[in-house]
């Protein structure tokens, strides 16, 4: 990759040049940020800190591009604009991370999922065992299970709707 320089001409005719560090030289954290984002178990705080550091590095680079008036102002302006776009992209990345973190902590209940089916079967079996333990005969236990199944099937749609409305620790009971 070719090196980039900013040439400055002072009002008295002095010419100076400043080499612009490449992304690798300014120790871009983008590869590490992307690796951390790809890791579902990575905590959000260090990723946000790396994004902030990347924004700070770009800001530092913008300051070196700007500054004194010179004949290369148009090139400096374009470079600052490109760096500004990088900062905007990094800020959007930070917002996306926050939104995905919120979604990952949202409580979803998959009614058709195998885990819920397993848990409900364990509770059902616990109820059957308890009924038998207190001396209820098998016929009555089976009658109870049929009645309970029918009642739950009648209320399934209401239960699903109410479950979707639940936010954090608040539950409003949906009356029949």
Query: Do 84 and 122 sit in the same domain of this protein?
Result: no
Query: Do 55 and 123 sit in the same domain of this protein?
Result: no
% of the chain beyond a pLDDT of 70: 74
Domain contains 120? yes
- Please tell me the total count of domains within the chain: 2
Q: Which two tokens stand for residue 9?
A: 């001409």
pLDDT score at 17 = 76
Query: Do 78 and 128 sit in the same domain of this protein?
Result: no
Query: Do 101 and 120 sit in the same domain of this protein?
Result: no
Look up tokens 């058709």; give the residue: 112
Query: Do 48 and 89 sit in the same domain of this protein?
Result: yes
Domain contains 174? no
Domain contains 175? no
pLDDT score at 170 = 54
Query: Do 138 and 89 sit in the same domain of this protein?
Result: no
Q: Which residues contact 27 (CB under 8 A, 6 or more apart)?
A: 57
What's CA 19's distance to the chain center, in Å?
37
Query: Do 38 and 93 sit in the same domain of this protein?
Result: yes
Question: What are the pLDDT digits (tens) for 1-23?
Answer: 466 667 777 788 888 777 666 55
Query: Do 47 and 120 sit in the same domain of this protein?
Result: no
Q: What would the mean pLDDT of 119-141 be, rounded to a whole number?
A: 94
Domain residues for 78? 4-105
Question: What are the pLDDT digits (tens) for 96-126?
Answer: 877 777 666 666 778 888 998 999 999 999 9
Give 72-138 as a 3 state SS string.
Answer: CHHHHHHHHHHHHHHHHHHHHHHHHHHHHHHHHHCCCCCCCCHHHHHHHHHHHHHHHHHHHHCCCCH
Confidence of residue 155 (pLDDT cuts 50, 70, 90): very high
- Is pTM beyond 0.95? Reply is no
% of the chain beyond a pLDDT of 90: 24
């Amino acid at each position: 990759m070719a090196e980039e320089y900013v040439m400055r001409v002072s009002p008295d005719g002095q010419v100076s040049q400043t080499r612009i560090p490449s992304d690798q030289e300014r120790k871009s954290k983008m590869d590490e940020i992307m690796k951390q984002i790809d890791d579902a178990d990575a905590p959000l705080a260090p990723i946000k800190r790396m994004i902030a550091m990347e924004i700070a590095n770009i800001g530092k680079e913008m300051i070196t591009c700007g500054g004194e008036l010179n004949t290369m102002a148009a090139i400096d302006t374009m470079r600052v604009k490109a760096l500004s776009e990088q900062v905007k992209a990094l800020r959007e990345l930070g917002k996306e991370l926050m939104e995905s973190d919120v979604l990952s902590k949202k409580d979803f209940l998959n009614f058709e999922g195998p885990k819920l089916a397993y848990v409900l079967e364990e509770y059902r079996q616990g109820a059957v065992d308890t009924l038998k333990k207190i001396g209820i005969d098998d016929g009555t236990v089976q009658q109870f299970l049929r009645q309970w199944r029918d009642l739950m099937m009648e209320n399934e749609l209401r239960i699903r709707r109410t479950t979707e409305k639940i936010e954090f620790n608040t539950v409003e009971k949906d009356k029949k």
